[in-house]
Amino acid sequence: MEKKSLRTLIDIFCVLVGLVVSILMFMGPNTTIAIEIIANYPHADQEIQTYEDLQDLFSLRKKTWGDGTPITLFVFPQSSYTHIALCKQKLKIFPFQLKNIWSDLFSVGVAKKPVLVKSEGEMIRAVLKIPGALGYLEALEKKTNLTVIKISYE
């Protein structure tokens, strides 16, 4: 009987630890970092005016820019604070919701997977290299030839 009680306590402890980690991950100070959307497309700031426009791009519903240039989406790993902040601050959804949207589209073959990058330097180089590319990062400090997209949330 004591082993069963101990096992129950261990299970409860594990659930509580998981809950605390989840709360810290989604509400921790690093999720309030400034996120900038960057594009290698000169009219991106004119085509993306609202977070709904941004959702269309990041949920892979919009595949080309206004002139027909294909959009190549670059993203960070889903567990990164930058990706979590993008989802919550800019897209107004949780990362798991975006992951589910992508999974649904990939399973039926109507969208290609975003390209995964591991660092901000890699993100900048990748977006600069491909016309029509779209990505995001923490506040851009250096001047580049990228278009930084400002969105109105009113």
Q: What is the mean pLDDT of residues 71-94?
A: 93
Question: Residues 127, 39: contact at Cβ < 8 Å?
Answer: yes
Q: pLDDT tens across 4-38, in order?
A: 677 787 778 777 766 665 555 555 544 468 898 99
How far apart are the C-alpha atoms of 113 and 75, rounded to whole Å? 10
pLDDT at 128 (0 to 100) = 94
How far apart are the C-alpha atoms of 120 and 25, rounded to whole Å? 20
Q: What is the mean pLDDT of residues 136-145?
A: 74
How far apart are the C-alpha atoms of 95 and 65, rounded to whole Å? 24
Global pTM exceeds 0.85: no
The larger pLDDT score, comparing residue 149 to residue 132, is at 132
Work out the mean pLDDT of the chain and round it to a whole number: 83
How far apart are the C-alpha atoms of 14 and 46, rounded to whole Å? 48
pLDDT at 5 (0 to 100) = 76
Which residue in 77, 80, 63, 70 sits closest to 25, CA to CA? 80
Q: Which CATH superfamily is domain 33-149 in?
A: Periplasmic binding protein-like II (3.40.190.10)
So where are the chain's domains? 1-30, 33-149
Please give the structure tokens belonging to residue 83: 């990706």
